[in-house]
Amino acid sequence: MNPSPLKRYFNLLKLDKRDISQIFFYAIFSGLVSLSLPLGIQAIINLIQAGRTSISWFVLVFVVVIGVGLVGILSLMQLRITENLQQKIFVRSSFEFGYRLPKITFEELYDKYPLELANRFFDTLTIQKGTSKLLIDFSTALLQIIFGIILLSLYHPFFVFFGILLLLLLYSIFKFSFKSGLSSSLKESKYKYKVAGWLQEIARNNFSFRKKENFEFALQKNDFLVEEYLSNREKHFKIIKRQFIQLIGFKVIITASLLLIGGYLVLNQKMNIGQFVAAEIIILLVINSVEKIIIGLESLYDVLTSVEKIGQIVDLNLEKPTKEEQDFCFTNICIETENLSFKFPDSSNVILNTINLKIDQSEKIFLEGPNGSGKTTLIRILSGFLQPISGSFFLNDATYRKMDLNNYRSQIGTIIQGEMPFEGTILENITFNSPNLSSEDIKWAIENAQLGSFIKSLPEGLNTKIFSDGRQLSSSNAQKIILARSIVNKPKVLFYEDPLNKMDEKAAMEIIDFITEAKNKWTVIVSSKNEYWKQKCNRVIAMKDGEIILDNNK
């Protein structure tokens, strides 16, 4: 069972218990100083009433002024601590996302859009700002309420009733509005992300949406999503408005009651003027503190919503690492499957059915078959991207040993359909700044991917920065960068899904000749519409309806 948003938030704050305890310490000290000011004012008024303007009067004025300045200094110290806290939250969140996004299992990502998950990082900003506001405002306000009620009770027992009434009000607002407020905030956030996701789609396919009819469709869909957002936002606002109306009613009733009762107590000489003024100042501080808490509830809803949105990513299952590094691939990799089957999470149809296959080192294998035959799924299972639902997949007869995915992936090169360059330099896209690659390795990969002449034509060469998806590159050169990336580490196995479909025929044939050359001892497993792969591979495996119907060695 996943924790509640409030529980998630408390768990997040536990990481910085020391900082938070300091914030509360300063809040307690500030609250005591703030509430001692009315006592100083009371003493000053009593002195003035008595007509005694001695040195004591000046001392009290000085003490009150010092108290005001001290409260400001304490607030500044709180601000410094909360700034440190905001920075820590940002750093932790960025690394949490950076660590988790590449490791989320396929089953968890199957019905989710990875970019939408990445966009949730922006909820970190809401948590940063909201946490700072909640810790300072809520802590100060709560302590002022508690200290204020205690101080008022010393003036007259009636004020104890005021304190109980105040606490009941706060409890009732939380009790009857919290769940509905959080629920409406979550729904509002859901459509906020849908709007952002649709705008992202428009930006990604901006050429398609330039046509008038398509442009109108884009706006119509945007209008629908925005309308849903506004509807849920309005429902959330109604809850906030109801809470504020309750607060206004409470302020009016309490203020009127306390002024009347305070006046009555003064007239009956049960309180003097100084006490009356001090009590009214304390009451105003307490009421303002209550108002600060009620208004701050919207920040609380926003923070808990953001924590929940990020928490949903944290809840996604990650690939399970092996307990220790296991180097059992040796010099060669022999891949074997036994009765291997696979189906997608939301489907009852088996995509792969009892696949039995043995692939030795250096084999060049061409997978063929109609669309939906299972070629792509088989490649993704063999490359470790998908996990079979039944059967065995093992390396070098290591039947009884758990496969170390990290070790295995370091031995293979892949080109998965739709893979594109990321934002960075060409060198970063090819090498990922690996310290294990020499300049000779990089040059070898570039030349054999036929990138040499293109990179030489660039003013900054390998240090040329490219945009996300390689937008300023030709589709052919973008694909060549991915190809160079797949071979630069000289892997033992290459898994390719239509790797050269964007290239001209001559370049594609020359690259296929290189990839399938006998002197390259890597294993190649490729599915492609380019029949030249089939001519150059020494083994053809034909698939249909998730089964191998032909396995032919040339």
Q: What is the CATH number of the domain that holds 430?
A: 3.40.50.300
347 and 273 in a single domain? The answer is no
- As a whole number of angstroms, the distance between CA 124 and CA 118 comes to 11
Q: Are strands 493-497 and 412-415 parallel, antiparallel or unpaired?
A: parallel
Q: What is the 3-state secondary structure (H, E, C) of 432-487?
A: CCCCCCCHHHHHHHHHHCCCHHHHHCCCCHHHCEECHHHCCCCHHHHHHHHHHHHH
- As a whole number of angstroms, the distance between CA 134 and CA 293 comes to 9
192 and 54 in a single domain? The answer is yes
Partner residues linked to 539 by β-bridges: 365, 553
The residue out of 314, 343, 366 marking a domain boundary is 314
CATH of the domain at 206: 1.20.1560.10
Number of domains in the chain: 2
* DSSP SS3 for 540: strand
Residues 93, 95, 96: CA angle, nearest 5 degrees:
60
Q: Are strands 352-359 and 493-497 parallel, antiparallel or unpaired?
A: unpaired
355 and 489 in a single domain? The answer is yes
DSSP summary character for residue 104:
B
φ/ψ of 420, rounded to 5, equals -135, 160
310 and 341 in a single domain? The answer is no
Question: Residue 328 falls within a domain, yes or no?
Answer: no
Q: Which residues contact 43 (CB under 8 A, 6 or more apart)?
A: 60, 274
The pTM of the full predicted model, rounded to 2 decimals, is: 0.77
Question: Residue 323 falls within a domain, yes or no?
Answer: no
Residue 235 identity: K
- As a whole number of angstroms, the distance between CA 175 and CA 171 comes to 6
326 or 278: which leads in pLDDT = 278
Lowest mean pLDDT among 43-57, 435-449, 487-501: 43-57
- As a whole number of angstroms, the distance between CA 254 and CA 162 comes to 8
CA 117 to chain centroid:
7
Question: Residue 524 falls within a domain, yes or no?
Answer: yes
What is the pLDDT confidence band of residue 400, given thresholds at 50, 70 and 90?
very low
149 and 248 in a single domain? The answer is yes
As a whole number, mean pLDDT of residues 29-53 equals 61
- As a whole number of angstroms, the distance between CA 144 and CA 255 comes to 17
10 and 122 in a single domain? The answer is yes
pLDDT at 44 over 80: no
Q: Which domain holds residue 271?
A: 5-314
540 and 449 in a single domain? The answer is yes
Question: Residue 326 falls within a domain, yes or no?
Answer: no
252 and 352 in a single domain? The answer is no
* b/e 514-530 (16+ beta carbons within 10 angstroms → b): bbbeeebebbbbbbbeb
49 and 185 in a single domain? The answer is yes
Lowest mean pLDDT among 33-42, 131-140, 374-383, 484-493: 33-42
CA dihedral (72, 76, 78, 84) in degrees, to 10, reads 170
Q: What confidence score (pLDDT) does residue 217 get?
A: 93
What percent of the chain stands above pLDDT 70? Answer: 88
**Residue (of 368, 338, 336) closest to 354 by Cα position:** 338
φ/ψ of 127, rounded to 5, equals -65, -40
Question: Residue 177 falls within a domain, yes or no?
Answer: yes
* Residue 50: Cβ-neighbour burial (10 angstroms; 0-12, 13-18, 19+): exposed
34 and 120 in a single domain? The answer is yes
Question: Residue 319 falls within a domain, yes or no?
Answer: no
**Residue (of 233, 290, 10, 268) closest to 131 by Cα position:** 10
- As a whole number of angstroms, the distance between CA 460 and CA 77 comes to 48
Question: Residue 321 falls within a domain, yes or no?
Answer: no
* DSSP SS3 for 553: strand
As a whole number, mean pLDDT of residues 228-256 equals 84
Number of H helices, E strands in the chain: 18, 11
66 and 121 in a single domain? The answer is yes
pLDDT at 525 over 60: yes
As a whole number, mean pLDDT of residues 516-529 equals 94
The residue out of 285, 314, 343 marking a domain boundary is 314
- As a whole number of angstroms, the distance between CA 391 and CA 525 comes to 20
* DSSP result, 294-353: HHHHHHHHHHHHHHHHHHHHHTS-BPPPPSS------SS--EEEEEEEE--TT-SS-SEE
What pLDDT, in 10s, does the model give residues 329-347? Answer: 457 888 999 999 998 887 7
Token pair in block for residue 328 = 């059992």
348 and 448 in a single domain? The answer is yes
The residue out of 281, 314, 347 marking a domain boundary is 314
Question: Residue 325 falls within a domain, yes or no?
Answer: no
